[in-house]
Structure 1
Amino acid sequence: MNESTKSTGLNAAAAPSRRAVLRSGAAAAGLAAFPMIGRTQGNTLRIGVVSPRSGPLALFGEGDGWVLDQVRKHVAGGVEAGGKRWNLEFIAKDTTSNPVRAAAVARELINADKVDFVLSTSTPETVNPVADACEAAGMPALSTTSPWEAFYFGRGAKPGEPSPFKWTFHFCFGVGNFAKLYTDQWSKVATNKKVGMLLPADADGNAIRRMLIPALQQNGFSVFDAGPYQNGLADFSAQIAAFRKEGIEIFNTFPFPPDFAVFWRQAAQRGLAQQVKIVQTAKAGLFAAEMQALGQLGNGIHSGTYWHRSFPFSSPATGMSSAQLADNYAKASGKVWTAQIGATASLFDAAVAAVRGSANPGDRAALAASIAKLKTPTAVGDIDFTTGPVPNVATTNLVGVQWRRAANGTFSLDIVANADHPKVPLTGQMTAYKLS
């Protein structure tokens, strides 16, 4: 290992697999096999909603049921589209955090539940297999909360070539957002600019390894990649020893939430937590429940987030401001609000806007065309599918945050960096991580 990106996994996110080629053929066949008119009953649209509500990614799906209930209430009278009023019926499915299960429930929604539109959220392990199933079936689909490169290139698209996707669309931040965020956020604490990367052997890890590491190096950071590891790894002693030897003062990782807890406890036992000045998490480190489980080890951890209660945006599909979403969820659930509350609301914001913008949302082609030209406000900010960066994708932005532990053991989240999302106000000043 050295201070450059590893070759392992570099091509996995960019090169189409045999499975992707076969899938493209299946999608083409699906266009002939499935009529363009969906299977709507009268003026009712059936919309499938897929997310991880159990398993290792369950924290992402924890609030999805509550958000969906708010959407159901807000659109109970239906929505106007194409000169008609359409009732929206939502059918939710749990992936159990399993990609195979995600594909299976997507097919179940299409073939058994006869839906007209599929929504999915939270990590490539959810949105990619759902999108693949929908693409093959000629089913309009919209997703969020997974770096767009993992969605687009991770499913077989190639840079500079036409999009192989006709039915599946995605909006989210990307690797470029992380590079802009980190360059700004990491400048707020004095370090030796040595970054240690812990990246899993999955779609997120492959996309980050391929694109973020070079961007960080171009911005003057020395990057040490510990190499790909399998999700669920129980012993990180080799990676910790390597990070200590390299003298890294900035630690960055994109793991499953349970894996980060395992790693960081071991890092504290082996002296790494005492060495680093910035502990930058992504995918993990987004939820107060994670920090509370870590206790004092969670105090001062840094992250990037796609939504916060202080966002100056509202959710049209729920009728709530960002602050109202956070406060109402906390009151109803007795739990701390999470970034995913706003992200899930934004998915429904975009979906309802796409339905409203379609001349005939019961027609699959018309609904897909509406998504492709969608420009709309959401809880995470405005999204615009007409401006790229690639077909079928719209981008959102990130802010830098830091966890603070109160004397009673509860955690709050300050916004400490906003170069990538300047419309969002700062709520605190970033400080170095210090294990006491």
Structure 2
Amino acid sequence: MSFSSKAPKGAANFHLPRRTFLAGAATLGSTLALGVRTASAQSGTVLKVGFISPRSGPLAGFGEGDAYVLEQARKALESGLEIGGTSYSVEILDRDTQSDPSRAAQLANNLINDDGVDLILASSTPETINPVSDACEASGVPCISTVMPWEAWYFGRGAKPGEPSPFKHTFHFGFGVGELKQCYTSQWDLMETNKKVGVLLPNDADGNAIRGVLVPQLEEAGYTIVDPGAYENFTTDYSTQIAMFKAEQCEIFNSFALPPDFATFWRQAAQQGYTRTVKIAQIAKMGLFPSDIESMGSLGPNLSSAAYWHRVMPYSSPLTGTSAEQLAAGYEAATGRQWIQAIGASLSLFDVGIAALVASGAPKDRNTVSAAIAGLKTESIGGPVDFTSGPVPNVAHGPLFGTQWVEASGGDYPLDYVVTENATDENLPIQAGLIAYNG
């Protein structure tokens, strides 16, 4: 799959500089003009947008950059919006799930019932997104989410293959198993291996979706999958899995474990000699964030990953006007920490969410906003987002591309996060060749 950096025909585009917000949204057959909020905005014209993500707990890496993104979004929206001749101020209510699915659902219900939000944005992993989406669907509140395989979102919440979507108010954009398969096979074909893949897949929404959908596709592509079976999150002893991977001589390893679980597994794998035989270690979740990789010490460099956003992407935010490179550089300057891909995903949520409110023409009408999302084509700092083209209703495709953590040759940080393949978005520059994990 390839995305163009140019806006698709009929896309909703908008840009908000310091004092003026102008938008042209060609969605649902309407074009809407936006302007500065006037000082005489009437009561009842406040748009409330909820934002829910894990900023503490075992999934905290995903929300590490949210404070910076929220600051940028609030600054961009401080002059408000004018939609359909009405001036609106915009209030963003952000909440931390603490990586707890039950808390995620409760936060969503509180935003809906106590705060009266008009739209909820949710980011990062099924543990956050699915309970939030379920709460929104039950209450008829529009919700947009990103950063998890769409299959785990769609089928994990009860949708059935070949049947009409059961969802009217909840929507998701980003990568799916198809992009994972393209990314992984493109990455793994860069190096000669025995094509035996040891997989560590937990008994959760991600693990079950990967086992049920991705594994058969990898087998069809010529890879032998060695699967010791589902394990429970927060397992502490992985000797059985490691013994199987060693016995089967798995030169490729792929994990969808929670970050603490992968760290435990990989240290045990090193102690038991498995890591010395691994040529490619493709790590989801834990492989996304520099702090997690650095915490692995000498076991961190040359771990591979897959990115849903990168600072070299050739896209800009319609909301803030910043390019991908500017967002990453701004984050580093403001925080003193290395950029993380989650900042691009979180800003993309605001790009898409604001575009939906604009396109609706009636942002206080929840049914109208939900209908606008279903017909939305727009741009984001992560690339085009098109809910009209599937792969299933309520879902828009997004890219995923191969990456690797390598020792930096200079600069402020010990590791560089480089793009090694771009099968799902050829607009993305390839930065380096793939290095064998075992050197």
Tell me, yes or no, whether TM beats 0.5.
yes
Q: Is the 8 A contact 1:74 1:319 kept in 2?
A: no
| Per-residue CA distance 1:166-209 (angstroms, 9 max, x = gap) | 11111110001010111111011110000111100000001100
Alignment match, 2:277? 275
2: CA distance between counterparts of 1:242 and 1:293? 26
Cα distance between partner residues in 2 of 1:83 and 1:406: 52
Match of 1:430 in 2: 434
Deviation at 1:86, TM superposition (A): 2.0
The aligned amino acid for 2:134 is D
Q: Does 1:365 align with 2:367?
A: yes
CA contact (8 A) 1:148 1:174 kept: yes
Q: Deviations over 1:40-95 (max 9, x none)?
A: 95221111111001100001011111101101101211123223232210001110
Q: State yes or no: 1:410 paired with 2:414.
A: yes
Query: Given the alignment of the two structures, is residue 320 of structure 1 paired with residue 318 of structure 2, yes or no?
Result: no
Select the structure that is richer in helix: 1
Preserved contact between residue 134 and residue 167 of structure 1 (Cα < 8 Å)? yes
- Cα distance between partner residues in 1 of 2:169 and 2:135: 10
Q: Is 1:175–2:144 an aligned residue pair?
A: no
Mapping of residues 165-314 of structure 1, within 5 Å: 165-314=167-316
What displacement does 1:393 show?
0.6
Change (3 A) 1:283 1:355: same
Q: Is the 8 A contact 2:286 2:293 kept in 1?
A: no
Name the aligned partner's letter for residue 152 of structure 2. Answer: A
CA offsets, 1:336-362, max 9 Å, x none? 110101011101110011011112011
3-state SS in 2 of match to 1:119: strand
Greater shift, 82-91 or 264-273, is seen at 82-91
Counterpart of 2:108 (choices 106, 109, 123) is 106
From 368, 371, 392, the counterpart of 1:390: 392
Aligned AA (1:186):
W
Query: What CA distance in whole angstroms lies between the structure 2 residues aligned with 1:314 and 1:413?
Result: 20
Query: How far is the alpha carbon of 1:407 from its aligned partner?
Result: 7.0
Q: CA RMSD in A?
A: 1.2
CA distance in 1, matches of 2:282, 2:65: 24
Separation in 2 of the partners of 1:338 and 1:167? 30
Alignment of 1:1-150 (within 5 A): 42-150=44-152
- Aligned residue in 1 for 2:380: 378
Whether the aligned pair in 1 keeps the contact of 2:269 and 2:275 (CA below 8 Å) is yes
Report if aligned partners of 1:144, 1:171 keep a CA contact under 8 Å in 2: yes
On the 8 A contact 1:296/1:405 being kept in 2, the answer is: no
Q: Provide the residue aligned with 1:23 in structure 2.
A: none
Give the CA deviation at 1:258.
Answer: 1.3
Residue 235 to residue 222, structure 1, CA distance change in 2 (3 Å): same
After the TM superposition, which of the residue ranges 79-88 and 163-172 deviates more from structure 2?
79-88
Residue in 2 aligned with 1:401? 403
- 1:285 counterpart SS class: helix
Q: Is the 8 A contact 2:206 2:256 kept in 1?
A: yes
Query: Normalising by the residue count of structure 1, what TM-score does the alignment of the two structures yield?
Result: 0.89
Deviation string for 1:15-43 (max 9, x for gaps)?
Answer: xxxxxxxxxxxxxxxxxxxxxxxxx9522
TM-aligned CA distance change 1:407 to 1:386, over 3 Å: closer
Structure 2 spans left out of the alignment, 5+ residues: 1-41
Residues 49 and 119 in structure 2, CA contact (< 8 A), matched pair in contact too: yes
What letter matches 2:400 in structure 1?
L
Secondary structure of 2:48's partner? strand
Q: Any unmatched runs of 5+ in structure 1? A: 1-39
**What's 1:421 paired with?**
425
AA partner of residue 379 (structure 1): I
The Cα of 1:365 is off from its aligned counterpart by 0.8
Q: Offset at 1:318?
A: 2.4
CA distance in 2, matches of 1:78, 1:199: 45
